[in-house]
Amino acid sequence: MDFVSDCVVGLGAESVRIINIVDECSRKVLWTEAHKSISASKLTEILDKVAAWRGRPEYIRCDNGPEFISTKLQQWAGDQTEIKYIQPGKPNQNGIIERLNKTLRVECTDQHWFTTMEELNEALDQWSVAYNTLRPHQSIGYKTPDRFEILNQKTYFTLVAA
């Protein structure tokens, strides 16, 4: 998981943070959402939603940002989820999410002027659906993330969600 910073153009040109969460195996976007700010408490709320849908992950790879090193996230992870931190200044160690961040910018946020947070989140939702269902990925044999998971359902969910 990682954050992307952007802005909403409108009254006040608000800065926003977008949380991106991706499954490293299937390349499926599990969550992307913009907020004015994302505290550690908000982050754990989002992770609870993802876990309710997908199950708790065995691990989460992230950088050393304040939300990610917080006690709140450590408590959320507990003994069930390992937090794998990349080395400071080495975003290439989390290359899958960095690639997703770039793709999000090129295909979505750089394409439009968003005047409200709702407009931005609607575009993020539409983009993530297309990314997961229509866009083939070279790294998973030119399949969409949804198709990859369907084709590998028995093995995939046994390994990932166990």
Q: What pLDDT does residue 78 have?
A: 95
Asked if 34 contacts 120 with a C-beta cutoff of 8 angstroms, the reply is yes
Q: How confident is the model at residue 158 (pLDDT cuts 50, 70, 90)?
A: low
Contacts of 82 (CB under 8 A, 6+ apart): 58, 59, 60
Residues 55 and 29: their CA atoms lie apart, in Å, by 15
CA angle, 7 as apex, 4 and 127 as ends, to 5°? Answer: 60
Q: How confident is the model at residue 45 (pLDDT cuts 50, 70, 90)?
A: very high
**pLDDT tens-digit readout, 49-81:** 999 999 999 999 999 999 999 999 999 999 999
Mean pLDDT of the chain: 91
Q: Is the pLDDT of residue 162 over 60?
A: no
Residue 22, SS3 per DSSP: strand
Residue 28, SS3 per DSSP: coil
Q: Is the pTM of this model over 0.85?
A: yes
Q: Is the pLDDT of residue 9 over 60?
A: yes
**pLDDT tens-digit readout, 78-127:** 999 999 999 999 999 999 999 999 999 999 999 988 988 999 999 999 99
Asked if 145 contacts 54 with a C-beta cutoff of 8 angstroms, the reply is no
